[in-house]
Amino acid sequence: MYSNNQVFYIKANDTLPSLQIMLMTKGKLDEPLPFNLSAVTATTFYMADDCGNTVIAGNEAQIIDRCKGIIQYNWSSLDTANPGRYKAEFEIFFSGYTSEQKMTVPLFGQIDVEIFNDINKL
């Protein structure tokens, strides 16, 4: 699972581990609480290379636990084919009164992803 201020590492052409994050909110007295995803209708995943070029554009992500605020992206081998440093984020869509509403997470910055060469590709 990814947590803020950490880099997510994976080897080239691997599909595991999945990139999983837990969304948090603040409760009374500012204690951290899981963000309830009950109203979420869809989640998507985006990733860009270090030059800002989009390499994953709105692929489907999964809600793992609505009550605990856990979402994840399951990699394909094409997603991790090119070693390098990347920035990623999730978009979360909520059903609203008149239309669907969107929130991008993380709210500040992006998720750092680093894809390394594996030995058989050196």
Work out the average pLDDT over 64-79.
96
pLDDT for the residue 119: 83
pLDDT for the residue 1: 45
1-15, 27-41, 55-69: which range is least confident on average?
1-15
Work out the average pLDDT over 57-63.
97
Query: Phi and psi of 121, rounded to 5°?
Result: -110, 0
Residue ranges covered by each domain of the chain:
7-121
Rounded distance between C-alpha atoms, residue 89 and residue 92, angstroms: 10
DSSP-derived 3-state class of residue 120: helix
Query: Phi and psi of 39, rounded to 5°?
Result: -90, 5
pLDDT for the residue 4: 56
Residue 3 has pLDDT above 70, yes or no: no
From residue 42, give the alpha-carbon distance in Å to each of 50, 63, 72, 118: 27, 8, 12, 33
As a CATH number, domain 7-121 is 2.60.40.1220
* Residues above pLDDT 90, as percent of the chain: 75
